[in-house]
Copies of this chain bind each other. A is one copy, B any other.
Amino acid sequence: MVAAKGRAAKASRATRRRLDTRERLVEAAQRIVARKGIDATTIADITDEADVGIGSFYNHFASKERMIETLVARAIEIHGAGLDRLVSGVSDPAERFSICVRHTIRMADHDPIWAWFTVRAGIYIRELGSGLGVRLLRDLTDGVERGRFSPRELRSALVVIGGAVVASMQGRLLGLPDLPDEALVAENLLRMLGVPPLEAERIGHLPLGDAHDSTLRTGTGGDER
């Protein structure tokens, strides 16, 4: 019994250590990537920063690219959970949708490191099938059931919404002039979802409050002043 307990404790310690190492690697990668950018970051940089042997990296990730995908998925997940908290008191699906779209676009101003990181070519597209995409699909479905949205088809609407949000963020990250207000983007998307024009205008332009100062901190340091 005692020996079995000892083995179990040892196994659980090993599992914990394994998870600790993975977590250390992810956190180290986040810091390095924020400092040097993705292209310049090497696996050796990450293992040095995490203070583990370079072989450890490959126990947890097949490649640098796989680890970056993990980082992006995690960054998006943290943001998604923040949005959930933010709209927890909002019952109208159209309002919830507009708030989430607008806050996500504004992340380009409030937390450019997060924004730059999540819009990296293509990776966000995979995330439309999980993370934020699942949340969005849930909200769209809810809106359809409650008669608020009448989209033609949900997956194609999802692609348009994801693309519109990312394009808006990229425009802001690049500092392009004459970019449209994010409320107009939300309004366009509400129209696409079948919300009548006047209603889409009203909802798209509701005051947003200052959620970025509290609820939507992502921990990249990019939103801390």
Contacts and interface: CB of A to CB of B under 8 A. Distances in A.
A129 to B, nearest CB: 7
Interface in A122-153: 122, 125-126, 128-129, 150-153
Contacts of A185: 156, 159-160
Most buried by B among A168, A184, A194, A201: A184
A120 interface: yes
Copies per complex?
A: 2
A163 interface: yes
Most buried by B among A122, A126, A174, A180: A122
A78 interface: no
Given A176-B125, A192-B192, A184 B156 contact: yes
A199 to B, nearest CB: 12
Contact of A171 (B159, B184, B194, B201): B159
B171 A153 contact: no
13 contacts: A119-B122, A122-B173, A125-B167, A125-B171, A128-B167, A153-B188, A155-B180, A159-B180, A159-B185, A160-B167, A160-B185, A163-B164, A163-B167
